[in-house]
Structure 1
Amino acid sequence: MSAYLLLFATAFGAATLLPFYSEVLLVAQLNRGLDPMLLWLFATAGNTLGAVVNWVIGWHLTHYVDRRWFPVRQQALDRAQRWFQRYGTWTLLFSWAPVGGDALTVVAGIMKVRLWLFLPLVTLGKGARYAAVILAAQAIGN
């Protein structure tokens, strides 16, 4: 069970802005013979919950825009909001992407996307990525 929890924690960290790479651990655990379905479940759940942390941060982020220490300029924030308004909540299906995926989940929070809409889209995208990693690893391993 500890191997699955380690994958959950690594996937959770990978969904935040921390430099974690859960796919490497996932493939290593798959090669050790752990259950692919449980690996998929723990990785998807951890990564999705990490994205929820990003969403919560984004939801509350705009309260601090006027502070000097705030790390993002208003202009960049406005540009991200316009982009999200243009392409919509369906972009959350791409929250799995290594570049920009985490930012999408933060912007979704800024844009006040409801959690009931956020969760299934992000879970579907992240679950599909982990399924693809597992299938690819199994195909290469055979």
Structure 2
Amino acid sequence: MSEFAAYGGLFLTAFLAATIFPAQSEILLVGMHATGNYDHLALLLFATAGNVLGSVVNWALGRYLMHFQDRRWFPVPASMVARATRWYQRFGVWSLLLAWMPVIGDPLTLVAGILRVDIRIFLLLVTAGKAARYAVLVLAV
């Protein structure tokens, strides 16, 4: 596999992991890093960019498509939205630093869209949290 395809695969996996689709970008990132065949900074950048872009999709769903939440095809159950809303109301915009967390992270990014969090603040906080998570993984291997 070419190096470009490998980084592209990491980007795509990280993107999917931030949406409703099941994907484990951490496993792929750690595996690629462990081989020693890839640039550490590039791994961090591709994983972070893909994961943040996936979170932007969630933000846009919340911002523009929540009026479809009662539809069967809507990707986030009402119970997850309610839980994330309570979390967000408790910790405010700073909760977006935890958008990388399993279970609560993706709904938090959706709630940020519902609550019309400024996209610039959203990007700053979500990127910081997700980049920090990936950096810890790269440094731990």
- TM-score grouping bracket, smaller chain normalisation: 0.7 to 0.9
Alignment of 1:1-142 (within 5 A): 1-33=4-36, 34-65=38-69, 67=70, 69=72, 72-73=77-78, 80-137=84-141
Deviates most, 53-62 or 116-125? 53-62
Larger radius of gyration: 1
The one-letter code matched in structure 1 to 2:105 is: G
Question: Distance between the aligned counterparts of 1:96 and 1:82, measured in 2?
Answer: 17
Number of positions where the alignment pairs a residue of Structure 1 with one of Structure 2:
135
Question: Distance between the aligned counterparts of 2:63 and 2:17, measured in 1?
Answer: 20
Query: Is contact 1:16–1:54 with CA below 8 Å preserved after alignment?
Result: yes
Question: Distance between the aligned counterparts of 1:112 and 1:20, measured in 2?
Answer: 27
* TM-score normalized by the length of structure 2: 0.86
Provide the alpha-carbon RMSD of the alignment: 2.0
Question: Distance between the aligned counterparts of 2:42 and 2:53, measured in 1?
Answer: 16
What is the identity percentage for the equivalent residue pairs of Structure 1 and Structure 2?
A: 53
The one-letter code matched in structure 1 to 2:112 is: A
Question: Distance between the aligned counterparts of 1:37 and 1:121, measured in 2?
Answer: 20
> Which consecutive residues of structure 1, in runs of 5 or more, have no partner in the other structure?
138-142
Query: Is contact 2:97–2:125 with CA below 8 Å preserved after alignment?
Result: yes
* TM-score normalized by the length of structure 1: 0.85
Question: Distance between the aligned counterparts of 1:106 and 1:79, measured in 2?
Answer: 12
